[in-house]
Chains A and B, each alone.
Chain A
Amino acid sequence: MEEEIDEGFSGIIADIFSIRESNIAIALTMALVMFSGGMNVIKWTQWEYEVARDAATDDSWLVEFNVSIASIVHEETWQDEEKKTVTFYMDEFDLPEGYLVGGIEVIVKPDADSNGTLIDPVAQCDSIGANIRNEGSLTAQWDFEGNVLSGQDSSCEWIILNLRAYPGFDGEDMNSSSPNEFQALLPWRQTGWGEGELEVEVELDVNTVDELGPISNDDDEDITIEVIVSGFVASASMGEQ
Chain B
Amino acid sequence: MAGENALLPIATMIHLILGIMTIILVYRSEKAKPSERLAALVLGWTFFVLGVIFLFQTIIDYQFTNENITISEFSDSFLRYGAGSTRIVYLSLIAVLPLIYPYPVFYSESFARMGAIFIGIFTILLVPLWIITNYEYSNLQYIFFLVPFLVWVGVYLRYLFSEIQGGMDEDRTVSAVAALLLIGVFGEWLTYWLGIVLTQENHFTARGLVGSSELRDPTITALLSSTMAGAMFAVTIVTLFLGEAWRTKRKGFSGVSTIIFTFFTIGILWFIFDYTQMGIVDSCVNTTCEELNPIYSTWYVFSSEIIRFLVVPLILMYVILNFNLIETGGDNVWFTRIMVLLMLLIVTSSIIELIQTVLPIPQMITSALFAAAVVVFIGWEEKITNSMIRQSISVSDVLIESGETGFLGIDEGEYRIFSIALGISIALAMLISLLISLMEITV
Residues in A lying within 8 Å of B, measured CB to CB: 2-7, 9, 12-13, 15-19, 21-22, 25-26, 29, 32-34, 36-37, 39-41, 43-45, 48-49, 51-53, 55-57, 179-180, 182-183, 186
Residue contact A29 to B157, C-beta cutoff 8 Å: yes
15 other A-B residue contacts (CB within 8 Å) besides A21-B161, A44-B223: A2-B400, A2-B406, A4-B408, A4-B409, A33-B149, A36-B196, A36-B234, A36-B235, A37-B228, A41-B227, A55-B209, A55-B210, A56-B210, A57-B217, A180-B286
Interface range on chain B (Cβ under 8 Å from partner): 35 or more
Nearest A-chain residue to B243, judged by Cβ: A25
Stretch at the interface among B89-97, B198-206, B291-299: B198-206
Whole-angstrom CA separation of A81 from B224 in the bound complex: 79
Whole-angstrom CA separation of A12 from B224 in the bound complex: 32
Nearest A-chain residue to B105, judged by Cβ: A12
A-B contacts, 10 listed (Cβ < 8 Å): A4-B408, A5-B407, A16-B154, A16-B155, A21-B165, A40-B228, A44-B205, A48-B206, A55-B209, A180-B286
Residue contact B288 to A3, C-beta cutoff 8 Å: no
Whole-angstrom CA separation of A13 from B288 in the bound complex: 52
Given the contacts A29-B157, A29-B239, A33-B235, A52 and B285 also touching, CB distance less than 8 Å: yes
Residues of B within 8 A of A52 (CB): 205-206, 209-210, 218, 285
Residue contact A19 to B223, C-beta cutoff 8 Å: no
Interface of A is mostly: helix
Whole-angstrom CA separation of A17 from B155 in the bound complex: 9
Kindly supply a per-residue 1/0 record for chain B positions 192-216, scoring 1 wherever the CB is within 8 Å of any chain A CB and 0 otherwise. 0000110101110110011001000
Residues of B within 8 A of A36 (CB): 196-197, 231, 234-235
Whole-angstrom CA separation of A6 from B104 in the bound complex: 12
Given the contacts A19-B158, A22-B160, A29-B153, A43 and B107 also touching, CB distance less than 8 Å: no
Residues in B lying within 8 Å of A, measured CB to CB: 103-107, 149, 153-155, 157-158, 160-162, 165-166, 196-197, 199, 201-203, 205-206, 209-210, 213, 217-218, 220, 223-224, 227-228, 230-232, 234-235, 238-239, 243, 284-288, 400, 404-409
Nearest B-chain residue to A43, judged by Cβ: B199
Whole-angstrom CA separation of A9 from B223 in the bound complex: 34
- Determine which of A5, A21, A40, A55 lies in contact with B199 in the assembled complex, contact meaning CB atoms within 8 Å: A40
A64 nearest CB across to chain B (Å) = 20
Residues of B within 8 A of A34 (CB): 231
B410 nearest CB across to chain A (Å) = 11
- Determine which of A19, A37, A183, A186 lies in contact with B161 in the assembled complex, contact meaning CB atoms within 8 Å: A19
Given the contacts A29-B235, A51-B285, A183-B287, A7 and B213 also touching, CB distance less than 8 Å: no
Residue contact A40 to B217, C-beta cutoff 8 Å: no
Whole-angstrom CA separation of A17 from B243 in the bound complex: 17
Nearest B-chain residue to A11, judged by Cβ: B107
Nearest B-chain residue to A29, judged by Cβ: B239
Whole-angstrom CA separation of A36 from B199 in the bound complex: 8
Whole-angstrom CA separation of A10 from B205 in the bound complex: 40
Residues of B within 8 A of A2 (CB): 400, 406-407
Residue contact B231 to A7, C-beta cutoff 8 Å: no
